[in-house]
Amino acid sequence: MTINNPALYDVAFAAIANSVSAWLTDANLADYVGQQNAAAAIAAEIDSLIPTISPGPTLSQLFLIESIVEKTFITRFPVSATPANYSVVAGAIAAQFNQFTTGLQDNYVPIPPASPFVYFLDSSADPVIANYLQLTPSASFTVGPQQTATASGTPSTTVQFSVGGNPVSWIAQAAIGVPFIQQGEWTADLFGSVNQPVSTTNIRLSVYTRTTGGVETHLFDINGPRITLSTPQESSEDSSQNTFTVNTTDRLVVKAFAVLTGTTVATTATLYYQGPNYASHVHTPIED
């Protein structure tokens, strides 16, 4: 599979752009035009190489590519007044990228597989945002007493689950930290029940990002299978998503909804989380 990964270009080009400050320490400080030419030449080299990387790079590979670019500039020779010398630097970086991308295709570069983030719906409140609970990574999640949220309505309605009468959302405590969310598979592994099986009730997990200013952007939904039991029932469903462009300071948010269809009978759905047996969680392609 041949790809053109914008995230790869962003990381590589950012490393090149940042190297302008390092260029200021060169022996030839006046050759700013040559520096611009060099940056343009190297960016063109990298841009031409992006479609050759197959399969798409993981986050750890992106960081390695960034390291290659930065290391080349740190160890480069002092430049002269001849702009043509910058093509030597560009060629050196291009050669390293060629070797690196060949290694990717031949499994030559030993990179351990990334550990995707699994987030648990927690019962701890966000310290700032009202009616937002924590979305806790599995590594720091502590199992506690079983908690529940409820959603009541009649078909055809979609009702957000509430705690204490208030619609509740779950938010990651840490920012995403990179300008994208990786493409890959998401799995909503939730536990729910209904007070009657006549109507059709499904649990929908909706994924958002939230800016530091409080603006939320809806990314996608995962619709789980029908819930029919009055006792906790697992509702698990997968969804494959492309890369999402985000702000590095954005935080991940999930909301759960009861989707009520079928007959006109009023229904109350219950969502279970936090407990030792029915801890609702979501698997993401975000790398640990």
Q: According to the model, what pLDDT value does residue 62 have?
A: 59
Count how many domains the chain has.
2
Which pLDDT band, with edges at 50, 70 and 90, does 110 fall under? very low
Q: According to the model, what pLDDT value does residue 94 have?
A: 59
Q: Are 18 and 187 in contact (CB under 8 A)?
A: no
Q: Are 185 and 240 in contact (CB under 8 A)?
A: yes
Q: What is the CATH number of the domain that holds 246?
A: 2.60.120.260
Claim to verify: residue 140 and residue 266 sit in the same structural domain:
yes
Q: According to the model, what pLDDT value does residue 229 have?
A: 95
Claim to verify: residue 62 and residue 140 sit in the same structural domain:
no
**Does 112 have pLDDT greater than 70?**
no
Q: What is the pLDDT of residues 18-40, one digit of tens each?
A: 554 444 444 454 555 555 566 56
Neighbours of 1 (CB within 10 A): 5
Claim to verify: residue 87 and residue 227 sit in the same structural domain:
no
Average pLDDT over residues 251-272: 94
Q: What is the pLDDT of residues 183-236, one digit of tens each?
A: 889 999 999 999 998 889 999 999 999 999 999 999 999 999 999 999 999 999
Claim to verify: residue 85 and residue 201 sit in the same structural domain:
no
Claim to verify: residue 243 and residue 155 sit in the same structural domain:
yes
Higher pLDDT, 17 or 107: 17
Domain end point (choices 62, 79, 106): 106
The residue count of the chain comes to 288
Q: Are 277 and 232 in contact (CB under 8 A)?
A: yes
Domain end point (choices 60, 83, 106): 106
Claim to verify: residue 92 and residue 143 sit in the same structural domain:
no
